[in-house]
């Protein structure tokens, strides 16, 4: 019984992280279209936004992979 609860909790966290990365992805995409950086860390906005987009996609793929293969 405890294993099922642990499994359910882990899947819930993975779905939560998937939603967070989706929100960050959408923010970066919208900010890239507007020409402003997402976080303003000192890089040109295009480099920062594209980096965030790529890393968000990789993170979403990894989260989906863990959900599917768990």
**pTM score of the predicted model:** 0.84
| pLDDT at 7 (0 to 100) | 87
| pLDDT at 1 (0 to 100) | 59
pLDDT band at 6 (very low <50, low <70, confident <90, very high): confident
Nearest to 38 by CA among 50, 54, 22: 50
pLDDT tens column, 7-55: 889 999 999 999 999 999 999 999 999 999 998 899 999 999 999 999 9
């Amino acid at each position: 019984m405890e294993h099922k609860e642990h499994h359910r909790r882990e899947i819930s966290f993975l779905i939560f992280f998937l939603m967070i990365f989706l929100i960050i992805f959408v923010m970066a995409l919208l900010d890239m279209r507007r020409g402003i950086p997402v976080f303003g860390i000192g890089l040109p906005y295009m480099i920062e936004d594209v980096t965030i987009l790529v890393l968000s996609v990789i993170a979403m793929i990894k989260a989906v992979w863990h959900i599917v293969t768990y």
